[in-house]
Amino acid sequence: MQREGFWDKRLSLVNWLRGQVAAARLIRSWGSLAGWLYRARAAVMAASLKVALVLKSVKSVAVRFCPFEASAQSAREFLESISAKKIRSTNMNCAVTVDVRHDQSEPQVDILFVDGDRFLIKPANVSSKEMLLALSAKCAAKDSQTKESAKK
């Protein structure tokens, strides 16, 4: 009789461990799935905006926002778009920094160009697409200025 109780306990322990291993595998697969979904969303978002952004003339991009403010959504979307592999590969020396604050401050995107010019965007009332289009226009103007000065 005593041996049967031992085997029952051991069998329940083995089943419990199998459940833990299965749960760990599920969590691991969900983690990789969530990462894949995040990367896919960033690629789709950048493709849906159809902005040909070349960061060749950009030295650094600093995004500052309070995550608990509703106005920070466009700043987060801009950060997600600018962090896409396709856009980041246009200038690997461009430093993208994020400053997450909890002081209820309004979001801010500060872009520093190679020639020292600064472009400040307040994304509270601007969509991420509008910010990307403005940055794309600025970058195109800077690139054309550099090409013209190189010709002279």
Specify whether 56 is located in the same domain as 103. yes
Domain identity same for 122 and 87:
yes
pLDDT at 37: 56
- Which CATH number does the domain housing residue 104 bear? 3.40.30.10
Q: Domain check: are 77 and 125 in the same one?
A: yes
Residue 24 belongs to domain spanning: 1-49
Q: Are residues 90 and 66 in the same domain?
A: yes
Q: Are residues 100 and 34 in the same domain?
A: no
pLDDT at residue 7 is higher than 60:
no
Percent of the chain with pLDDT strictly greater than 90: 36
Number of structural domains (the chain) is: 2
The pLDDT of 125-150, averaged and rounded, is 88
Residues 141 and 130 in one domain: yes
Query: Are residue 101 and residue 34 in the same domain, yes or no?
Result: no
Same domain, 138 and 118: yes
- CA separation for the pair 85, 87 (Å, rounded): 6
Residues 27 and 73 reside in one and the same domain: no
Say whether both 15 and 71 belong to one domain: no
**Span 63-73, average pLDDT:** 90
